[in-house]
Each structure stands twice: as structure tokens, then as C-alpha cells.
Amino acid sequence: MTDALQRLPELLLDAVFLVEEDGRIAFVNSACLAIFGYTPEEMIGRRVLDFIHPDDRAHTVAEMGQVMQGQPRLGFENRYLRKDGSVAHIMWSARWSAQDRLRIGVARDISGRKRAEQRQAGMLALATAAHGAETLPELFRAFHAILQGLLPLRGMVAVLQPGERIAFASGELPQQDSGWHHVSLSAPGMHFGEMQLDLGRHGTLSAAELDLLQFAAGQAGAVIERLALHADLAHAARYDELTGLPNRRLFQDRIQSAIARCRRGQSRGALLFIDLDDFKQVNDVHGHIAGDQLLQAIARRITSCVREADTVARIGGDEFVALLENVADLRQAEAVAGKIQQVIATPLLLGGCVHTPHASIGIALYPEHGEVIDQLMRHADQAMYACKAARKAAEA
Ligand SMILES: Nc1nc2c(ncn2[C@@H]2O[C@H](COP(=O)(O)OP(=O)(O)OP(=O)(O)O)[C@@H](O)[C@H]2O)c(=O)[nH]1
């Protein structure tokens, strides 16, 4: 070999290996320092297998066996452990030189490309997990599992406002120290909290890893926004926005289950239909905002008269219902209705004037006045109108 050719391996960025039949390294060029962290002196004379990642040794031995039987290999991949313990992804071309009784190998460091591929796959996995997540614990559990494969992640905590904390850790979640990295969880115009990641002592992140975390945080922020929106919509579909009481739809569900319970327990239940008297005038005289305030006060007043297990709902403009379970008889239901009427009639300030509201209440008893919702509602409604008509007749 000419002198120029002898110097050639030292100019290569790939590592060039000559390996003896017994697997010991006979020669390696100085590129090995940049790729594996070892000088040629530290590698020469040692078994090449000692540097290979334990999980890749078996299939590397099989591959090299084929090379030594005369089959050249181009593009074979395996992993090495660098001197600092980190993993180097290597792509090989290798052939056997029967004349020299040496295996010639050229090793290219493809760790950067592998990391980029892993990050890309990780981003896809994060986006898929975010898309499918139906709860926040499910989302952060999936994110923890995915990020663990991409970062030196020991533990992860999602701290959500106001004060909800979802923690994940491979083992025991250690005390917070300087190894923790914080990423804000947000959506345009909204801040939900942050993701805190325990990256241990080797916690410095590359720009690409920081990008990955930002991507994860962005996905998580979008999921939090989506779940919050769903929760708001689900709430709005079942509750009255003005008073916070169950609306007609939720009331239908509640009365259905209450009837089933009464039927099973052979107990009695009462449906109270409550309609404000002359409420239109409140709007006309004091304005719509004052009308709203009165409706809110009425909701609180009715609720204060019933047991916690009973349901109070707003089913129309100035129409409320109270569903009483385990009622002994009509007299007991009438007593509750009387109390509601009395509490509603407490004077209050509306638009700077003292106003005394009144309500008409009709009662339907299960099972005496009906065994299904429609019958009970009709009976209570008619009883309420009878009550209202009697009041108006008395006033006339
Ligand atoms: N402020 C306010 N008013 C409402 C709301 N929903 C319905 N209303 C009004 O409530 C009034 C109900 O009127 P009516 O059903 O005639 O009842 P009323 O004036 O109490 O008459 P009687 O029941 O016969 O005593 C209407 O004027 C509606 O516009 C609301 O959310 N807020």
C-alpha cells in the first residue's frame, strides 16, 4: 500500500475496523473517537463484541458469521455503547478478506438520523394519543409512556389549574430538584397549568428535544381545551344557565329514576309544580335583569326547602318543579309546598324597590295521581292552575 493509501483511513469520518478471526480488533482509525468516545488504542486488542449493545449482540454475531462465510454486507444496523454509556446507532458495510484472515468493516454513525426518526414517530404517537384521549389521566399516562422512550425521563407531573395534579413516574416520584423541566400547558389565550418532567441529573435537553416537548405540551393544551368544551356542552345540555338548576331534560331523567325507585321500594313520591304569579310584571316594571335576579333568588329559595336528595329543576321561564322522594302522604307534600310558598314570599329588593313574589303550586302524588311522568305532570299542572285561578278570583 502506498503511503497515501495508508493515510486514507485517518481522513474518513466513518470508523474503519479490521477484526481478527477471534473477534478482536486489529485496527481502527481515529474516527472511532468521535463515534464511540474511545481512542484507537483503547479499542485495539479488545473484542468488538464488548462494545456492542447487549440486546444487539446475538444478531450481530449471526450477521458477522455470514460475512465470514464470504457474504459481504451493506447497510447492516446495530447499536454500540459509547464510552459515556450513551447509545450509538451504527450502519455497517463489512466483508471478509480471506487472504488477510481479517474482517473489514466500515461503521457510519446514524444516531442523529435515528433520533430524528424516533422523534418523528414519537410526535405521531403523541398526536394519535391526544386525538384518542377521553380523560386527562389517560392522556398524560400515554404521554409519559411515549416521552419515556425519547427522553431521559424519570417522572412526570401534570399540574393543572386549579390545583389538579396528575403524577406519573417509572418508580417512586422523587422530590423536585433542579433536574425538573417545566413546560407550560396552554391554548391560544388560555393557560391551563404545566407539565413538569424529571430528567434527572443529565437533564439538559437539545433543541430538538425541546421542540418535542413543546409539541407534546401543544397537543395536551388542545386536548384540555377540547375536554373542557365537551364538559361545558354536556353541562349546558342538562343544566339551566341562569339558575344552575337541572333543566327540563335532566328533570325528565331524574323523575324517571325517582318513579322507578318508588315502584321498587313501594314508596310514595310527590311532584310539585311551582309557577310564579305575575312574573311578567316584574320584567315590565323592573326590567329583564331584575327578572333574572328574581328567578335566581327563587331557585335558591325553593332549593332551601327540600332535602338534598330531592330534585329542584327549572323547566320553563318562571316554572319550577320539585321532586320529593319518600313522602308519607299528601299532607306532608302540602306542608313542603306551604313552606316553599312562604319562603318565596319573603320580600326582596328588585331594581331599588321592595318586591314580594308569590307562587302557585300544584301537587301530584305517586302513585295516587299517576304512575307515569305524563300523568303526574298533567295532574300537577292542573292543580297549579286551579291554585292560580283561586288566587286571581280572590284578588278580583
Ligand atoms: N327575566 C326573565 N324573564 C323570563 C325568562 N324566561 C321567561 N321570562 C318571562 O317570564 C314571563 C312569564 O310570563 P307568564 O307565563 O305570562 O307568567 P306570569 O306573568 O307570571 O303570569 P301568571 O303565571 O298567569 O301569573 C314572560 O314575560 C317571559 O318573557 C328569563 O329567563 N328571564
pLDDT tens per residue, range 141-152: 999 999 998 888
Q: pLDDT tens-digit profile of 104-127?
A: 999 999 999 998 999 999 999 999
Question: Residue 328 falls within a domain, yes or no?
Answer: yes
| Ligand 1, pocket-test mutation among 276, 280, 286, most atoms within 8 A of CB | 280
Q: Return all residues near 326 (Cβ < 8 A) that are at least 6 apart.
A: 265, 267, 268, 269
C-beta separation of 24 from 103 below 8 A: no
Task: State residue 93's pLDDT score.
Answer: 96
Query: Of the ranges 60-64, 77-81, 159-163, 252-256, which one carries the lowest mean pLDDT score?
Result: 159-163
Query: Are 156 and 75 contained in the same domain?
Result: no
Query: Are 221 and 124 contained in the same domain?
Result: yes
Task: State residue 172's pLDDT score.
Answer: 55
Shortest-distance atom of ligand 1 to CA 292: 1
Which residue has the CA at smallest separation from atom 30 of ligand 1?
317
Ligand 1 centroid distance, CA of 97 (Å): 98
Ligand 1 centroid distance, CA of 388 (Å): 14
Which residue has the CA at smallest separation from atom 1 of ligand 1?
291
Shortest-distance atom of ligand 1 to CA 281: 19
Boundary of a domain, candidates 47, 75, 109: 109
| Burial of 107 from C-beta contacts in 10 A (0-12 / 13-18 / 19+) | buried
Question: Residue 252 falls within a domain, yes or no?
Answer: yes
Question: Residue 361 falls within a domain, yes or no?
Answer: yes
C-beta separation of 154 from 198 below 8 A: yes
366 φ, ψ to 5°? -95, 130
Query: Are 390 and 263 contained in the same domain?
Result: yes
> Mean pLDDT across the stretch 341-369?
94
| Burial of 381 from C-beta contacts in 10 A (0-12 / 13-18 / 19+) | middle
Question: Is the pLDDT score of 275 beyond 90?
Answer: yes
> Mean pLDDT across the stretch 281-299?
94
> Mean pLDDT across the stretch 5-31?
92
Query: Are 95 and 138 contained in the same domain?
Result: no
Assigned C-alpha cell, 223: 386536548
Q: What is the CATH number of the domain that holds 160?
A: 3.30.450.40
Shortest-distance atom of ligand 1 to CA 284: 27
Question: Is the pLDDT score of 173 beyond 60?
Answer: no
Query: Are 276 and 309 contained in the same domain?
Result: yes
Query: Are 203 and 92 contained in the same domain?
Result: no
Which residue has the CA at smallest separation from atom 3 of ligand 1?
291
Question: Residue 303 falls within a domain, yes or no?
Answer: yes
Shortest-distance atom of ligand 1 to CA 277: 25
Q: What is the CATH number of the domain that holds 336?
A: 3.30.70.270
Query: Are 156 and 188 contained in the same domain?
Result: yes
Question: Residue 243 falls within a domain, yes or no?
Answer: no
Give percent above pLDDT 70 in the chain: 96
Boundary of a domain, candidates 181, 204, 237: 237
Q: pLDDT tens-digit profile of 227-258?
A: 989 988 999 999 999 999 999 999 999 999 99
Query: Are 231 and 202 contained in the same domain?
Result: yes
Query: Are 259 and 219 contained in the same domain?
Result: no
Query: Are 74 and 121 contained in the same domain?
Result: no
Give percent above pLDDT 90 in the chain: 77
Question: Residue 242 falls within a domain, yes or no?
Answer: no
DSSP 239: B
Shortest-distance atom of ligand 1 to CA 276: 20
Q: Residue 178 — very low, low, confident or very high, per pLDDT cuts 50/70/90?
A: low
Q: What is the CATH number of the domain that holds 8?
A: 3.30.450.20
* Site residues for ligand 1, CB cut-off 6 Å: 242, 275-280, 283, 288, 291-292, 295, 317-318
Shortest-distance atom of ligand 1 to CA 288: 1
Give the residue numbers spanning the domain of 269: 248-395
Query: Are 163 and 222 contained in the same domain?
Result: yes
Helix (H, G, I), strand (E, B) or coil at 386: helix
Question: Residue 259 falls within a domain, yes or no?
Answer: yes
State how many domains the chain has: 3
> Mean pLDDT across the stretch 207-231?
92
- How many residues in total does the chain contain? 396
Shortest-distance atom of ligand 1 to CA 279: 20
Ligand 1 centroid distance, CA of 382 (Å): 18
Question: Residue 384 falls within a domain, yes or no?
Answer: yes
Tally DSSP H helices, then E strands, for the chain: 12, 15
Task: State residue 297's pLDDT score.
Answer: 97
Tell the residue number behind the cell numbers 345540555, with chain if given. Answer: 237
DSSP 55: G
Ligand 1 centroid distance, CA of 244 (Å): 18
Question: Is the pLDDT score of 7 beyond 90?
Answer: no
Ligand 1 centroid distance, CA of 359 (Å): 12
Ligand 1 centroid distance, CA of 284 (Å): 10
Query: Are 118 and 105 contained in the same domain?
Result: no
Ligand 1 centroid distance, CA of 313 (Å): 16
Q: Residue 282 — very low, low, confident or very high, per pLDDT cuts 50/70/90?
A: very high
Which residue has the CA at smallest separation from atom 31 of ligand 1?
317
Boundary of a domain, candidates 237, 258, 290: 237
Q: Residue 9 — very low, low, confident or very high, per pLDDT cuts 50/70/90?
A: confident
Whether ipTM > 0.90 holds is yes
Which residue has the CA at smallest separation from atom 26 of ligand 1?
280
Average confidence score pLDDT of the chain: 91
Query: Of the ranges 86-95, 164-173, 332-341, which one carries the lowest mean pLDDT score?
Result: 164-173
C-beta separation of 220 from 185 below 8 A: yes
